[in-house]
Amino acid sequence: MQSERIVVLARERVRLDVFLTRRLAHVSRNRIQRHIAAGDVLVDGKPVRPSHVLSGGEVLELPPFAARQLDRASQPVDLDILYEDEDLVVVNKPAGILVHPVGSEFRHTVLNGLHFALGQRGEDASELGVVHRLDRLTSGLLVVAKRLGARRALSQAVEERRVHRAYVGLAAGDAPGESGTIDFLIRRDPSRPTRMQALDAAAAAVAQRSIVREHVSASGYSDPRLDLRPRRARTHWSVLRRLQGATLLRLELETGRTHQIRVHLQGIGMPLLGDPLYGPAALESLPPAVAAVHQRLGRPALHAAVLAFAHPRTGSSMRLRAPLPADLRAAVEALAVARA
């Protein structure tokens, strides 16, 4: 495969390694940083450091970042494919499966499963690549590009927020009104790096002043676990159904921070049921039916239900929907009965 050339379209200044991690969802950030440090990635024809800041308009030249040995690691994965053509595949991902290889888990993923399926049909899978991510425990719609041109176009559409995604979530408590916007800033929890925190403007200002350790080393490498800067984040919500001690919500992201929906709902006192990180802290404070649903789910009650975008080759409008999976349907039905 030839080197790839892309033009940076950015809404805000962003580090090169961060930009490429977002753009190349099937490649780890560590691997991207290694390639940049080795001079394999050029910005306007010149090698730079991973910490180089992009402002928009730059031309990047990239090596062929192929996903890690998919031809060897591919295996059959039971996937619910809602749409497929020569350019892309839309999958209704079940909860519990990774989108692409991460660390030691590089076989049983959506990307591996699609690679295996294409190979079984005799199709070329060398340019297969994911365009955006879903958390392992989140179910729902995911688009995967089968051709490099489609991946470039769809990745650009994601960056420019022309790919519309709507989620359905089952949250503890009764929503205050019929719709609203959560506007808390988000940062990594300094005491638990696997978690995020939602902060109002005053708390974010204090947090910003308290940062004493630089997250970028002298050599230019960034450790995301040390990046404690609060970032702007907005989540829009509306009520779909009021239940016994819980609310079924439609959720749309204006920004795309890590765990944004989960940490934002926790921040307004309406955590997602089943969420092991941000769920209700005190079961005894929940109505018995809600506590039972929370314990039974075993994963955040969050589902990517709507996906809309322009087809990368034809430009035609694509809009797909995925119904709630069985575990979330059962949770809603249990709380609907309790409310009756």
The yes-or-no answer on residue 135 being catalytic is yes
Number of Cβ within 10 Å of residue 88's Cβ equals: 23
Are 86 and 150 in the same domain? yes
Instruction: Give the pairing type, strands 59-62 and 4-7.
Output: antiparallel
Q: Residues 198, 31, 147, 2: what is their CA dihedral angle, to the nearest 10 degrees?
A: 140
With tokens 């955590």, the residue in question is: 271
202 lies in some domain = no
Q: Lowest-confidence range among 64-78, 87-101, 175-189, 301-315?
A: 64-78
Q: Is residue 99 pLDDT above 60, yes or no?
A: yes
Cα 295 to Cα 16, 163, 196, 264: the distances in Å are: 41, 34, 22, 21
Q: Are 101 and 68 in contact (CB under 8 A)?
A: yes
Segment holding 93, helix H or strand E: strand 88-93
pTM exceeds 0.85 for this model: no
Query: What pLDDT is attached to residue 221?
Result: 43
Mean pLDDT, the chain, as a whole number?
86
| From 78, 87, 135, 223, the catalytic residue | 135
Q: Is residue 296 pLDDT above 80, yes or no?
A: yes
Are 153 and 173 in the same domain? no
Residue 235 burial (10 A CB sphere; 0-12, 13-18, 19+): buried
DSSP string, 287-320: -HHHHHHHHHH-S--EEEEEEEEE-TTT--EEEE
Q: Are 305 and 140 in contact (CB under 8 A)?
A: yes
Query: What pLDDT is attached to residue 176?
Result: 92
With tokens 């239900």, the residue in question is: 305
The better pLDDT of the pair 214, 259 is held by 259
124 lies in some domain = yes
Range of the domain at 131: 70-160
Report the C-alpha gap between 199 and 212 in whole angstroms: 18
Q: Lowest-confidence range among 66-75, 85-94, 115-124, 215-224?
A: 215-224
193 lies in some domain = no
Tokens of 130: 């994911």
Q: Are 166 and 252 in contact (CB under 8 A)?
A: yes
Query: 22-48: buried (b, 16+ CB within 10 Å) or exposed (e) per residue?
Result: bbbbbbbbeebbebbbeeebbbeeeeb
Are 105 and 33 in the same domain? no
Query: What pLDDT is attached to residue 160?
Result: 87
Q: Which of 19, 33, 117, 31 is nearest to 70 (CA)?
A: 117
The stretch 68-86 carries a mean pLDDT of 77
Report the C-alpha gap between 133 and 259 in whole angstroms: 11
The better pLDDT of the pair 278, 218 is held by 278
267 lies in some domain = yes
Q: CB-based contacts of 240: which residues, under 8 Å, 6+ apart?
A: 168, 248, 249, 250
Q: Give the up-direction half-sphere exposure of residue 54: CA atoms within 13 A in the CB hemisphere.
A: 23
Cα 296 to Cα 93, 157, 170, 172, 327: the distances in Å are: 20, 37, 13, 14, 9
Query: What pLDDT is attached to residue 76?
Result: 81
247 lies in some domain = yes
CATH number at residue 87: 3.30.2350.10
Which of 208-222, 249-263, 279-293, 300-314 has the largest mean confidence? 300-314
Instruction: Give the pairing type, strands 302-310 and 139-145.
Output: parallel
Model pLDDT for residues 101-129, shown as the tens digit of each residue? 765 566 688 988 998 898 889 888 888 88
324 lies in some domain = no
Tokens of 133: 């991510």
Amino acid at 282: A
Model pLDDT for residues 194-210, shown as the tens digit of each residue? 899 999 888 878 877 77
CATH number at residue 14: 3.10.290.10
Q: Is residue 214 pLDDT above 60, yes or no?
A: no
Are 176 and 276 in the same domain? yes
Report the C-alpha gap between 332 and 284 in whole angstroms: 20
Last residue of a domain, one of 62, 80, 108: 62
| Percentage of residues in the chain having pLDDT higher than 90 | 49
Are 57 and 19 in the same domain? yes
Q: Is residue 279 pLDDT above 90, yes or no?
A: yes
Are 82 and 40 in the same domain? no
Tokens of 334: 């249990």
Are 112 and 140 in the same domain? yes
Report the C-alpha gap between 91 and 1 in whole angstroms: 26
Are 151 and 175 in the same domain? no
